Structure 1
Amino acid sequence: MIKSVIFDLDGTLLDRDESVKQFIACQYERLSTYLGHIPKEKYVTRFIELDQRGYVWKDKVYQQIVEEYKICGISWEALLRDYKNKFKNHCVPFPNLIEMLEALQKQYISLGMITNGYGQFQMDNIEALCITSYFDSILISEWEGIKKPNPEIFKRALHKLNVLPNESIFVGDHPENDVYAAQKVGMKGVWKKDLQWNDVEADFIVTNLIEVPSLIEQINLKS
């Protein structure tokens, strides 16, 4: 019997790829006094390349960009501050996010989240999606001192939700950090399909968040 669903954030609930595109294009426009000598498309494309879907922190990204494009008048530190302060204004949810969360609440499913990243930055993004109130527990790696795929952060989330591993599923887009890591602690791993990977071994695969409530119903009917 599934009593709890725990989610990843970036790439699962938050459409990070689209959010980054919108933010970096807006940053270029806002700071065009300093960035205008770089073609906009080149600035956006290079940022996305260096960012590596969030796996490279932005201090390295902005240092590289400032050096490559010989940006003057604004430091990489100032660009980083702008990122930290303004990214939350460009958070794009995946389709049916709120509908899914409300459907799970109606099923009396407790909800948790585990996300890697910097504490306040990630919390700002969660709040920007207007979903904080739906969650019974939110764990952010910086604040927890551990990060996925460390099994301890999954165990900590389960403890906070007061559920056993076999009573919970984890939904995420990363095959190793999300799906396999959750399976290792005894949870069912649900892969939210991402075109970056193929042939992911998961207990279940969803392409749209709205599939999750019906998946829970099906699992519980069989248990």
Structure 2
Amino acid sequence: MVKAVFFDLDGTLLDRDASVKQFIAAQYDRLTVHLSHIPKIDYITRFIELDCRGHVWKDKVYQMLVAEFEIERMSWQALLEDYETQFQLHCVPFNFLFEMLNVLKQQGYLLGIVTNGLGQFQTRSIEGLGIRDYFDIILISEIEQVRKPQAEIFQRAMTRLGVSAPDSVFVGDHPEADIAGAKRVQMRTIWKRSLHWLEAKEADAIIDELSEIPLILEQFKCN
């Protein structure tokens, strides 16, 4: 019987691609007085390239932007601070996020988030999405000092909710960090299809939309 559902954040609940595009366009507009010598499309495009889907932390990204575009009126530290404090205002949820969470809460599932990343930044992103109160626990790798796909972070999440692996499902977009990591501790898994990654063939189910999750959980109960 499924009692608990755990979610990855970026690429699963948070549409990070859309959020980054919205944020970096707004940053350019907000700081135009300092960035006006750079074409807006060039600033947006280069940030996205350097960001590498979040795999390069923003101190490096902004240092490279300042050097490449010869930004003299604003330091990379100031740009980074703007990112850290303003990104949460541009968090874009995937379709059906709130509908799905409402259904799962109504059906009595325990819910958790297990995400890699920096504690304060990920906390702000969760708050920016407006989903904090749906979740019984939230584990962030920097705070936990262990990260996916290490078994410990998955086991710690289950322990805190008082559930075992057969009672638990993990939903994520990354084939290794999310799906393979959760499978190693015997959790059932749902892969949210992503164009950025090869198909997670070992997942127990594959979805395109978050709205598919309640039906899949019902099917898991029957298996």
- Name the TM-score, length of structure 2 as normaliser: 0.98
1:80-105 per-residue CA deviation (whole Å, 9 max, x = no partner) reads 00000100000000011111011111
Greater displacement, 122-131 / 81-90: 122-131
Deviation for aligned residue 1:189: 1.7
Counting aligned pairs with the same residue, the percent is: 56
Counterpart of 1:136, as a letter, is D
1:113-142 per-residue CA deviation (whole Å, 9 max, x = no partner) reads 001111111111101111111101000111
Report what 2:123 is aligned to: 123
Report what 1:101 is aligned to: 101
Report what 2:210 is aligned to: 209
Following the alignment from structure 1 to structure 2, what is the Cα–Cα distance between the partners of residues 38 and 20? 18
Across the aligned residues of Structure 1 and Structure 2, the Cα RMSD in angstroms comes to: 0.8
Give SS of 1:205's match: strand
Report what 2:219 is aligned to: 218
Report what 1:76 is aligned to: 76
Following the alignment from structure 2 to structure 1, what is the Cα–Cα distance between the partners of residues 120 and 198? 33
Following the alignment from structure 1 to structure 2, what is the Cα–Cα distance between the partners of residues 23 and 119? 20
Q: How do 1:9-88 and structure 2 match up within 5 A?
A: 9-88=9-88
Give SS of 1:87's match: helix
Deviation for aligned residue 1:20: 0.2
Report what 1:179 is aligned to: 179
- Name the TM-score, length of structure 1 as normaliser: 0.98
Deviation for aligned residue 1:199: 3.1
Deviation for aligned residue 1:198: 3.1
Deviation for aligned residue 1:200: 2.0
Following the alignment from structure 2 to structure 1, what is the Cα–Cα distance between the partners of residues 138 and 11? 16
Listed as ranges, the gaps of 5+ residues in structure 2 are: none
Deviation for aligned residue 1:197: 2.3
Greater displacement, 211-220 / 77-86: 211-220
The 4+ residue runs of structure 1 with deviation greater than 4 A are none
Following the alignment from structure 1 to structure 2, what is the Cα–Cα distance between the partners of residues 179 and 28? 36
Give SS of 1:210's match: helix
Deviation for aligned residue 1:34: 1.4
Contact kept, 8 Å, 2:6 with 2:170, in 1: the verdict is yes
Following the alignment from structure 2 to structure 1, what is the Cα–Cα distance between the partners of residues 126 and 218? 26
Listed as ranges, the gaps of 5+ residues in structure 1 are: none
